[in-house]
Each structure stands twice: as structure tokens, then as C-alpha cells.
Structure 1
Amino acid sequence: MGKQETEMLKGTLEGIVLAILFARRAYGYEITAWLRDQGFSDIAEGTVYAVLVRIEQRGLVDVEKVPSEKGPPRKVYSLNDQGREQLDEFWRTWSFLTERLSQLRTEHADSPDQGEK
């Protein structure tokens, strides 16, 4: 993953985690593994845990400790009503940005002096 892609991912990772938790409840390692399976191979487990701590502190998720076969109990996260509202806001913002970027890209491609300084 390139530097620009990594930086862009950092800016959207919270929304991505909320979207994952909208689909199903999960614990940190499951979220990290899913992201890696989707091609985000450079995601560090610690990065996902930092996002989970942040969204838990903001009251966007409910947390349940469940026994683990290996080691201490796991914290399983599920999206609550406040988290769903935040996810809806993320999707509205994402739609706005993608529409504007597509428009900018189209205008840039149609520009007669494309590439000139």
C-alpha cells in the first residue's frame, strides 16, 4: 500500500469499522483479518484497536466481554443507535466527497490545457 493510500485509509478507517460493525458484531482481530482479506494488507492490528477504543469512548458501540478459548475474555463490539447515526453521517459525507471528486476529475479530463502549467 502506498503512502497516499495509507493516509487516505487513516481518514476513513473509523467509518469502515462502523460499516463492518453495522453488518455484524465483531472483535478487534476479526475486523483486522477482514480488512486484510479485502486487500488492506498493511493495516496494523494496533490501528484497528485504537479506532475501537475511540468509538467506544464516544459511545458509538456497545461492548460485551465474551469468554475466549485462548486467553482473557474478548471484547465484542456491536453498533448502537448513536453509532448508526454516525455511520449514516459518514456515508453522507462519503457520497458528497466522491461526487465532487468525480466532477473534478471529469472537468479536469475535459480541460483543454490539461497538464500545462
Structure 2
Amino acid sequence: MGKRATEMLKETLEGIFLADPVRPPPYGSEITAWLRDQSSSDIAEGTIYALLVGIEQRGLVDVEKAPSEKGPPRRVNSLNAQGREHLEEFWRTWSFLTERLEKLREGGK
């Protein structure tokens, strides 16, 4: 996959994650597997960790620590008000882009 496709995929993955932040398990490797299933792509685990850090740093999710049977506490993400606004903007942009691209594919009709 080329650099441009990778960047586009990162943006798309962020939308996928924000659309359903509860379903993926809280560990990065498990989130990676879940997102791979959703996108049918080979996604590097480092990509997912960077995605999660970015989402958290931008204040789109609230993070709580939950006890774990093994190892350190699990970090559980939940979408907050700012994250919901960001997700709504993602879907507006997604709809705009897909409508325009479909028109272009159909020859501009």
C-alpha cells in the first residue's frame, strides 16, 4: 500500500474507531485485529497505537483504567462530547466525498 493510501486509511480508521469505540477490546493488538476485520486490510499495530494516542491527545475520548487479571490495568476508551462532534463532522465529510467521487466515476452525471 502506498503512502497516500496509508494516510487515507488512517483517517478512515479513526472514523471507524470513533463510530464504535466500545466494541473493540481495549488492548492495541486486539483493536488492530478488530480494525483489520472491519477494513480487510493489513494494518500495522503501530498504526493503531498512533491512532489511539492521537485520539486521546485531541480529547476525543475519555480513558479509564480497568483492572486486568494479568499485567497492568486495561485502558478503556469512551467517546465524549468532543468526540461525538468530531465523528459527526467525519460522517458529513465522508458523505460529501463519496457522493462526489461516485458522480466522477459515473462520468460527472
TM-score bracket for this pair, using the shorter chain length: 0.7 to 0.9
RMSD of equivalent CA atoms: 2.1
**What is the aligned partner in structure 2 of residue 86 from structure 1?**
86
Contact 1:68–1:74 (CA under 8 A) maintained in structure 2: yes
How many residue pairs align between the two structures? 106
Structure 1 residue 89: Cα displacement? 0.3
**What is the aligned partner in structure 1 of residue 17 from structure 2?**
17
Alpha-carbon distance in structure 1 between the residues aligned to 2:11 and 2:88 = 16
**What is the aligned partner in structure 1 of residue 98 from structure 2?**
98
CA deviation digits over 1:78-113, x for unaligned, max 9?
A: 1111101100000000000000000011116x8xxx
Give, as a single letter, the amino acid of the residue that structure 1 aligns with 2:46: G
Contact 1:18–1:83 (CA under 8 A) maintained in structure 2: yes
Query: Normalising by the residue count of structure 2, what TM-score does the alignment of the two structures yield?
Result: 0.83
| Runs (5+) with no aligned partner, structure 1 | 111-117
Structure 1 residue 46: Cα displacement? 1.6
Contact 1:25–1:76 (CA under 8 A) maintained in structure 2: no
Contact 2:24–2:31 (CA under 8 A) maintained in structure 1: no
SS at match of 2:75: strand
Greater mean alpha carbon deviation, residues 89-98 or residues 31-40: 31-40
Contact 2:13–2:35 (CA under 8 A) maintained in structure 1: no
Alpha-carbon distance in structure 2 between the residues aligned to 1:16 and 1:87 = 9
Greater mean alpha carbon deviation, residues 23-32 or residues 6-15: 23-32
**What is the aligned partner in structure 2 of residue 62 from structure 1?**
62
